[in-house]
Structure 1
Amino acid sequence: MRLITIYAAMVAWVIFAPTLLAQETTNTNSVEVLKSARQDIINEEKNALKRDVEAINKQLEEGIITEEEAEKKKLEAAEVRALNIENRVAIIDNKIALIERNPDGNYADDDDSINISIFSEESVLDITTNHRRRKYDRRTTSHLVFAFGLNNVITEGESLDDSEFKVGGSRFAELGWAWRTRVFKNSNWLRIKYGFSFVWNGLKPIDNQYYVDTGDQTELQVFPENLNKSKFRIDNLVFPVHFEVGPSRKIEREDYFRYSTRRKFKFGFGGYAGFKLGTRQKLKYEMNGEKIKEKQKGSFNTNNFIYGISGYMGWSGISLYCKYDLNPIFKDNPVEQRNISLGLRLDVD
């Protein structure tokens, strides 16, 4: 119960953390950049005017123009540079006003084009629409998660060597969506990853066995006919939370910056909690020369609440992934069994 309370606190913190982090405006950095650009414009035009005046003075010294013509040219150059400053600064001031008036960044941009880049510096496939201004600093990103591999059961008092399930035939799959939030403002070595996943845990018993719900418990029994297939599957919806650590590369542009973890080592550790969506068993066998496919749906006394620990370690978007259910598979069985999975995890940014 204590573990559930701790995990619930983690989930609550992670759910509200992005909101709190989002309140720390990134537009401040954009305004600072624009104000700096504003001063750069003024300095550029002043320096340009200085060069114009020097060129005019040189013409005057060489006798190309008279003193009266030189004064006239200097006045014209000053007017041009003053207008340049006024026009260019007005653009910057309008952008600053737009950002300050829309602190959430929710406004349309003039550029409504679509950019598609493959194997870019930030991702393998990057499709962006410029109908909204690019944020200077994006602390939270999201991506698809897909995992698959081997599945089995750890029985209380036994080892995996004593397993009653096929090692290669019992498999799991996971498909979900994850958000990744940078914890620290000026560093990306620690991230929080959270989201939701649909998980399918499949088990194939050996020795012609199948699961039977006896009412008091669920147990493996020998099927009266020769089974061609016996598969037991539990479908879950879980909400994983992982702390991810590892180096990253900072990509800086004129109006934004990003951290990239491509081609970098990463390590994630955490857990998950959720609930069962369904349990089913599929049997294939022959009886009296007839091929029979039987699909059974029911609770099979499996636990409705799912929670466990998980971790991954890998390079770029590919990781070795392991998860272990801390809850017993069945509610009332005298000997507790827990699901364990090992496979590959793909984080598709």
Structure 2
Amino acid sequence: MKNQLKIYSDMKSLVTMALLACMLPVASFANNDPKLDQDTVIIELNNNSKIVIVTKSKEDLATLENYDINQMIRDLNAQLTDSVEYMEIKDGKAYVNEDDEVELKDWKINDDEIRIKLGGVEVDVDPDKVDDWDEDDWSERKKVTYEAERVDRTTHHFNIDIGLNNWLEDGEFPDANNAPYSVKPFGSWYVGLNSTNRTWVGGPLFLEWGMGISWYNWKLEDADYVIQEGSERIEFNALPANISGQKSKLTASYINATVVPMFDFSRGRRKITSIESGGFRIKKYSRKGFRFGVGGYAGYRIGSHTKLVFKENGGKRDKDKEKDNFFLENFRYGLRAQVGWKGVELFATYDLNEVFSPNRGPLNADGQNAGLNAITFGITL
């Protein structure tokens, strides 16, 4: 390999360089060239090739530990061709693209910079550069698309679950019996905000785990019923004749912990599109291949309320909102299934315990306690 790797920029530790030398088959440090001063580190390989690291001062070596030297060597070995005679890395990590050009693909975040990551989109902002940015800079933006083959042991991201809620009674939806507690399928929204970690276990097996907050919204099919807390149980009572219901719903919020083993047959490989302009960098991550998993979750109720929107005697719309526990079970636990294909991720959850406390749910047509279990399905952003 006749290529030379020169790293100009902040370097952090001679110790890392020494470790690299120990891992190479034959490596020695020499400085016999009079043209090179004491701030030059030379690694001579056993095939008459060498790696040269030039720094402006010894203090610059202090940041060498910021760099993954082993990964650089692996990437260079896999991507460099005989047509590439020189490569310069000025910041972060660089790789050779199809045109034998060096493209910056990783942006080191300093203390005063901001990183926002939501789902498959990451935005990095450098406030010092943003002040000088204008719309003309966007026309000169840099766009790079590449595949990330390397799998980190654990990655972290935020995502949003958006879905529809309902509940099952003995495995059936209550509207099959025209029950007053039947839920309107569209409009009963579920929203979850999740902080998720993804840990690679081995092969195609990953473990997704984390914490989040979710909101159940059960919107009644018949808005002429009001949800009220009775003396012994939750009640779904008909409104007086002079009141016309427009919307009637029950909302409950929970803080949750989730663990889902995932089989990812692309083994974590992702397609990454990076756009850089001035102090902005936008990176979009798209997963590859098929993946699925089934796991569990547990949650604790942190709030609940009912909302009734109505008209009295045909007058103006009015609303009534009441906060209470409504005999809701404080704890929830159940199963979560996830399935994805490339950039699409679907989920479904089912509470194994009932929504309301034992024998505190509504009465069914037979006068028995209706055991209702929450069910949700939707998409993850």
State the TM-score, normalized to the length of structure 1. 0.61
User: Which residue among 321, 336, 353 is the counterpart of 1:310?
Assistant: 336
Q: For each residue in 1:132-185, what CA deviation from the matched residue of structure 2 results, as whole angstroms up to 9, or x when unmatched?
A: xxxx9741110111111211010136446527111112221111110111113x
Aligned residue for 1:248? Answer: 267
SS in 1 for 2:22: helix
> What are the ranges of 5 or more consecutive residues in structure 2 without an aligned counterpart?
1-14, 44-52, 66-90, 93-106, 114-119, 127-149, 271-284, 362-368
Alpha-carbon distance change, 276 to 86 in structure 1, aligned in 2, over 3 angstroms: closer
Q: For each residue in 1:75-128, what CA deviation from the matched residue of structure 2 results, as whole angstroms up to 9, or x when unmatched?
A: xxx9428968993149699979976xxxxxxxxxx9796599xxxxxx654649
* Alpha-carbon distance in 2 for matches of 1:40, 1:141: 34
Alpha-carbon distance change, 36 to 220 in structure 1, aligned in 2, over 3 angstroms: same
RMSD: 4.0
Aligned residue for 1:218? Answer: 234
Question: Aligned AA for 2:305?
Answer: R
Mean alpha-carbon deviation: is it higher for 280-289 or for 227-236? 280-289
Q: Is the 8 A contact 1:38 1:89 kept in 2?
A: no
Alpha-carbon distance change, 169 to 276 in structure 1, aligned in 2, over 3 angstroms: same
* Alpha-carbon distance in 1 for matches of 2:151, 2:340: 26
* Alpha-carbon distance in 2 for matches of 1:169, 1:250: 36
1:166 matched to 2:184? The reply is yes
Alpha-carbon distance change, 228 to 79 in structure 1, aligned in 2, over 3 angstroms: closer
Aligned residue-pair number: 254
Aligned residue for 1:301? Answer: 327
SS in 1 for 2:41: helix
Q: Is the 8 A contact 1:249 1:261 kept in 2?
A: no
User: Which residue among 295, 298, 304 is the counterpart of 1:270?
Assistant: 295
Aligned residue for 2:247? Answer: 229
* Alpha-carbon distance in 2 for matches of 1:31, 1:281: 65
Alpha-carbon distance change, 291 to 126 in structure 1, aligned in 2, over 3 angstroms: closer
SS in 2 for 1:329: coil
* Alpha-carbon distance in 1 for matches of 2:201, 2:168: 35
Deviation at 1:295, TM superposition (A): 0.3
SS in 2 for 1:302: coil
> What are the ranges of 5 or more consecutive residues in structure 1 without an aligned counterpart?
1-27, 46-77, 100-109, 117-122, 130-135, 252-259
Question: Aligned AA for 1:217?
Answer: R
State the TM-score, normalized to the length of structure 2. 0.57
Structure of greater Rg: 1
Aligned residue for 2:146? Answer: none
Q: Is the 8 A contact 1:321 1:342 kept in 2?
A: yes
Identity value in percent: 28
Aligned residue for 1:191? Answer: 206
Q: Which has the higher strand share?
A: 2
Aligned residue for 1:330? Answer: 356
Question: Aligned AA for 2:185?
Answer: V
User: Which residue among 242, 265, 287 is the counterpart of 2:312?
Assistant: 287
Aligned residue for 1:145? Answer: 159
User: Which residue among 175, 178, 181 is the counterpart of 2:196?
Assistant: 178
SS in 1 for 2:288: coil
